[in-house]
Structure 1
Amino acid sequence: MIEFYSHVAQISLPDVGPGFFVDEAECVVEGVRGTRPTQVRSVPDRIVAVFGSDGGGALFAVDRQTGEIVRLEGGSLIGDVYEVEESGVQVIARDFEGFMQFLFGELLRQIPSGG
């Protein structure tokens, strides 16, 4: 993510799929300090840094132990703990680069194929 933020401030794709948003680095840092979920209580529990969202209310976070990118949906926020059923935690990518590839794929799906 450090490499990403050294080149890009944020991403806003409101018209792609449900909408995809990657926040500015300052928002991510503030979130790690407790303004956003920093722990996920699920199976398995995770320590996370939230860095974005989609237009449907789900959050995107990096697992700070594994590097996996997860989509969090349908949970409840209690303090800085996001409590959610296992079905509400979806692994989107193995790492941030994989998440960028996921976004690129979503963008390509929005381009009409001509013939």
Structure 2
Amino acid sequence: MIKDSLDFAEEHRDQALLRIQNYQQLAAKYYNKRTFSRSFAKGDLVLRKVFENTREVNAGKLGANGEGPYIITMIVKPGVYRLAAMDGTEILRSWNSINLKRFYY
């Protein structure tokens, strides 16, 4: 009996692995169905997300959520952009599209 259960142990592990993989695929499909990617073109105006270190002091919950507007000067790769201020000064680092919002005027 112990030898039989040892023989089936590997099969049970394989079945459990398949169940885990199926669950992960379904979870990823569910998550990706509700997400969307933001894509911008060169020259678009965007607002940059305000972080804790750039947040206005004593602004509270009514403080600004975005800084800018900024101009997209270069597309580093899909979803990553280089920005410049409206006066043309370049921002030092590139920004992910998660931290950017389109600016409508």
- TM-score normalised per structure 1: 0.30
More strand per residue: 1 or 2? 1
Higher helix share: 2
State the structure with bigger RCO (CA 8 A, min sep 6), 1 or 2.
Answer: 2
Normalised by the length of structure 2, the TM-score is 0.33
Larger CA Rg, structure 1 vs 2: 2
